[in-house]
Amino acid sequence: MADGRMEVRRRAGLRLWLSAAWLAVVVVVALLAPHLAPKNPLEQDLFSGRLPPFWQHGADPAFVLGTDSLGRDVLSRIIFGSRIALSVALISGTLTCLIGASLGLLAGFFRGWVDLVISRLIDIWMAFPPVLFSILLIAVIGPGLGSIILAIVVIDWTRFARVVRAEAMAQGAMDYIASARVAGRGRMGILWREVLPNVLPIIVVLLTLEMGIAVIVEAILSFVNLSISTDFPTWGGMISEGRASVHQAWWVLVFPLVTLFLTVLSFSQLGEGLKDRFDPVLR
């Protein structure tokens, strides 16, 4: 039995490292995109539209993963698409985390009317279908990178607020908080010095998971043509095009889909792996 547990632990460790490695690759690719991409991702060539990937009959070796219906290089577009995906993941993940976790901490630690207002807001938010809400927001404020980030923050802050509130409540009920209070610490001081460090592991886990969600939300919005300008390469936009021509040119859908899949999986496996690592701290 002990062997089995070791086995699980080892495999979980492997998953964690594989996820981290893939994300590192994506980060490097995004940073070096102009140097790595073989073609200009926006360059159209109507004479070489829907070329298959290199190993198939009729391929042009210059377009390693083939071209889309407008003759744009799929590989270059995936490479440049990573920039949008990562920007959205980092910026909106961090902002969502800051806002959601702060509200959750306040509600969970101070209780009273603060908690009442924030909890009711969370309830109302939970009654919205999230995808529809984000689409509605983007339609209202107009497409663009800023809009996507704003939409994700507005919709997903409850994810942090709910969990952090519960955790802060649990911490607030523990003896060490009472003794800190007896020792004459101020409430803000206790929140900052005592509660926050104990809630931090779960916030880090949520942040990692949120980045994966942000990547997906961006892809969904691109999929319904509400992300940034349709020219600019995004994984979701490519997937949307690929879905439309899936019977004629499967590679336009498959390659960005695999990239998106691996990235989302890596974020969530990283989050789960961190959760397991922090487990003795959490429970």
Partner 1 sequence: MTLLRTILLRLITTAVTLFGVAVIVFVVVRVVPGNPIAMMLPPGATQVDIDRLTAFYGLDKSIAQQFLIWGAGVLHGDFGTSITSRQPVLALVLGRLPATLELSVLALAMAVLMGGAAALTGTRLRGTRVEGGIDIAGGMALSIPDFLWGLILILLFGVLVPVFQISGRVTPSLKLPFSSNFYLVESLARLRFDLTRDLLSHMFLPALALAIPLTAIIAQLLKQSLKETMHLDYVTLARTQGYSEARVIWRQALPNAILPTLTLVGVQFTFLIGGTVIIERMFSYEGLGNMAIDAVINRDLPLIQGIVILFAVIFTGVNLLVDLTYAALNPRLRHG
- Residues engaged in binding partner 1 (CB under 8 A): 120-121, 123-124, 126-133, 135-137, 139-142, 212-213, 216, 219-220, 223-226, 239, 243, 246-247, 250, 253-254, 257, 260-261, 264-265, 268-269, 272
| Complex with partner 1: residue 105 or 239, whichever CB lies closer | 239
Per DSSP, what are the bridge partners of residue 67?
73
Sign of the Cα torsion 215, 218, 222, 228 reads: negative
| Complex with partner 1: residue 166 or 196, whichever CB lies closer | 166
Name 29's Cβ contacts closer than 8 Å, sequence gap at least 6: 36, 79, 82
The amino acid that residue 35 corresponds to is H
Quote the least distance from Cβ 252 to partner 1, whole Å.
12
Name 92's Cβ contacts closer than 8 Å, sequence gap at least 6: 148, 149, 152, 153, 156, 210, 214
Residues 214 and 92 sit within 8 Å (Cβ to Cβ): yes
Q: Euclidean distance between the first and final Cα of the chain, in Å? A: 22
Quote the least distance from Cβ 209 to partner 1, whole Å.
9
Name 218's Cβ contacts closer than 8 Å, sequence gap at least 6: 84, 85, 88, 89, 148, 152, 227, 234, 235, 236
Quote the least distance from Cβ 199 to partner 1, whole Å.
23
| Complex with partner 1: residue 41 or 256, whichever CB lies closer | 256
Quote the least distance from Cβ 57 to partner 1, whole Å.
18
Residue written as tokens 């997937």? 239
| Complex with partner 1: residue 100 or 130, whichever CB lies closer | 130
The amino acid that residue 258 corresponds to is V
Quote the least distance from Cβ 128 to partner 1, whole Å.
6
Q: Residue 194 — left, alpha, or beta (φ > 0 → left; ψ -120 to 50 → alpha)?
A: alpha
Chain centroid offset of residue 158 CA: 15
| Complex with partner 1: residue 148 or 195, whichever CB lies closer | 148
Quote the least distance from Cβ 52 to partner 1, whole Å.
14
| Complex with partner 1: residue 119 or 198, whichever CB lies closer | 119
| Complex with partner 1: residue 96 or 171, whichever CB lies closer | 96
Quote the least distance from Cβ 188 to partner 1, whole Å.
30
Residues 51 and 59 sit within 8 Å (Cβ to Cβ): yes
